[in-house]
Each structure stands twice: as structure tokens, then as C-alpha cells.
Amino acid sequence: MTETILSVEGLEKHFPVTKGLFKSQVGAVKAVDGISFDVRKGETLGLVGESGCGKTTTGRLITRLIEPTGGKITFEGHDITHMKQGKLRPLRRDMQMIFQDPYSSLNPRHTVGAIVGAPFRIQGIETEQGTKKAVQDILELVGLNPEHYNRYPHEFSGGQRQRIGIARTLALKPKLIIADEPVSALDVSIQAQVVNLLEDLQNELDLTYVVIAHDLSVVRHISDRVAVMYLGKIVEVGERAGLYGSPMHPYTNALLSAVPIPDPKQREGRERIRLTGDVPSPLNPPPACRFHTRCWKAQEICKTQEPPLAELAPGHAVACHFPENAPSKTETPATVA
């Protein structure tokens, strides 16, 4: 087994809900509520889920843009859970983020050169032939014209802007990149360009990705392993082929069957699972298994006991009392408390 670059254990983020003049806490939004996973060196881990499931919060916790309320994050052997900003800064070189919206994540008053060169300045890094040369090399790497060094973000299209964002991310040759919805703001034809670019860069620069996205087909395309989140929990995690080929959690099944297939022939006769209702509020999530309110397999035990994330097949773990497609499938609870 390859080396683990990032390890997350029982990570929690509860945003307090306050009320009144003295801001007494009346509750908490459990955006991320105890998740654990490892990221191996060189792989791409996909994090999927619907809006409000906590996938973006997870990305921001890993990069320490927000402070976790519980759990532990280990990056390359360093415990960074509550590390001070000053000590964290050198580590930031190795861990960078790509943002969703290429319009709001670039400062409109800075030139491309200043944006992509900022990491060198902040980290105080001297390069052999100067920062300008280094920046132009990176621009070329992501498929932009190095002569655009002095242009401003508004002169570029959405796809090009996303490339500028990627160039900034790559400036300091990071090891781990967290990409939060890297292509969802882009047109279909541009999405494919950026997906291919991310894959090329990974091969060339030996990068590790955590890709956060809601588009299941994009995640399937670029990930080696995939984790599915629902209301702040990981409900299933596994190798791409296993997770998409024989999903075990009913929620994963429902998600996959909800994706429209671009083939009019499959319109009829395709077996669909339709979930009713909406995702419950993370302010007051259902007890025990959080999916039981929408699950067609739910029984009494689902309302009283939370299913642990258990490995039922090699490298394929699921948190469900009645998993589907499980080896030696039984209709009895898969785990005994």
C-alpha cells in the first residue's frame, strides 16, 4: 500500500447558532459531523454529495481555512488540526486549493502576473531566473500564453480564468491540491479541457487531488477512490469501479440512478430509484442513520442505532444496516452493536 499523505480522523465542524443580545448558543449546524478518511499519495479522491452535505466545509477544514471543532487532521505526519498560522504557513506550500468560481476567486485589480506570483512573494521564495520567468513557465504549463503576464482577469474567458486559478495553485509545486467544484462553473466543452488539464498535471507533477464535486460523472471520470457524503457524514467510500459498479449504500444507489443518461433509448425501461422529499436540515439532523427519513429500506434499527462505516469488501466501506450488493448479502443487520 502506498504512503498516506493526508489522514482525517473524526473531523467535526459545528457552526454555532446564536440568539439574542448576548449571543447565547441555541444550537449548532453540524456541517461536518465526524468523518474519517485517508488520502494516498498520487491518487485522486472524489468527494461527492448534494448541497449542504458538508463537502465544501470538509475541503476548507483540511486546508485550515476554517477551524475544526473536533477530530484530527494529519498532513505528511504533521498534526495540523490546531496549528498556528505562523507554523502552518510553510506547510501551505505543499497544500493548495482550487476554487469553484473563477470570477470571484481572482482579484480584478491584480494582473495575472501578480496573482500567480503572489505565492512566491508571500512565501519569500527566490527562483533562479526571477519570479517573472517562473510565473511565465507556469502559465505555459496550464495552457495560457506567457505574454498575458500583464493582463487583468476580466480580459479572459471563464475557462482561461480557471486556468489562471490553477496556475496560482501550482506556483509552489504543492503535493496535495484540494479542488472545490473545479469545473462546475464552466461550459461543457471547457469542462472537458480543464478535466484533461488536471489529469495531465497530475501525471506530470505527481500531484495528489481531493476533488469536491456534485457531478457524479465528472467525479467518476477523474477519481481513483470516491467518498459519498450525506448530511455531514461519509456514508460510503470505495474504489471507483466498486462504488459505481456495485454501490452498497441506498443513498449512493439513489444518487446514481438520478443522473440523467444522455441516451434517449434508455429513457424507457431504466430502473430508477426516486427519493422523495428534500435533504433534512443539518441544524436538526435525523437521529441514528441520517438517511432513514428518505430510505425505502429503513427499519426500526435505523432510527435507533447509527450504522458504523464498516468495510464490507476490500477497500469498500459503507455505513448502512441493510447494504445492497454486499458480499454474502443478508437481510439481517450487517453489523451488530
Interface residues toward other proteins, by CB under 8 A: 50-51, 157-160, 187-193, 195-196, 199, 214, 216-218, 220-221, 240, 244, 254-267, 272, 274-276, 278-279
**Residue closer to other proteins, measured from CB, 172 or 194:** 194
Shortest approach of other proteins to residue 233 CB, angstroms? 17
SS3 of residue 36 by DSSP: strand
Shortest approach of other proteins to residue 273 CB, angstroms? 9
Shortest approach of other proteins to residue 198 CB, angstroms? 11
**Residue closer to other proteins, measured from CB, 120 or 251:** 251
**Residue closer to other proteins, measured from CB, 126 or 263:** 263
Q: Which three cell numbers stand for residue 57?
A: 466545509
- Compute the distance between CA of residue 324 and CA of residue 337 in angstroms, rounded to an integer: 19
SS3 of residue 186 by DSSP: coil
Shortest approach of other proteins to residue 145 CB, angstroms? 13
**Residue closer to other proteins, measured from CB, 70 or 280:** 280
- Compute the distance between CA of residue 210 and CA of residue 95 in angstroms, rounded to an integer: 11
Shortest approach of other proteins to residue 228 CB, angstroms? 12
Shortest approach of other proteins to residue 217 CB, angstroms? 4
**Residue closer to other proteins, measured from CB, 260 or 314:** 260
**For the chain, where are the alpha helices, taking DSSP H only?**
55-62, 85-92, 112-123, 130-141, 158-170, 188-205, 216-222, 240-245, 250-258, 300-304
- Compute the distance between CA of residue 101 and CA of residue 162 in angstroms, rounded to an integer: 8
Shortest approach of other proteins to residue 162 CB, angstroms? 11
Q: Where do we find the cell 422529499? A: 277
**Residue closer to other proteins, measured from CB, 4 or 193:** 193
Shortest approach of other proteins to residue 32 CB, angstroms? 18
Burial string for 136-174 (b: 16+ CB within 10 Å, else e) reads bebbebbbbebebbebbbeebeebbbbbbbbbbbbbbeb
- Compute the distance between CA of residue 305 and CA of residue 30 in angstroms, rounded to an integer: 18
**Residue closer to other proteins, measured from CB, 58 or 131:** 58
C-alpha 23: how far from its chain's center? 32
| Partners of 7 in beta bridges | 38, 74
Is 244 within 8 Å of 256 (Cβ atoms)?
Answer: yes
Is 241 within 8 Å of 327 (Cβ atoms)?
Answer: no
- Compute the distance between CA of residue 29 and CA of residue 32 in angstroms, rounded to an integer: 9
**Residue closer to other proteins, measured from CB, 59 or 71:** 59
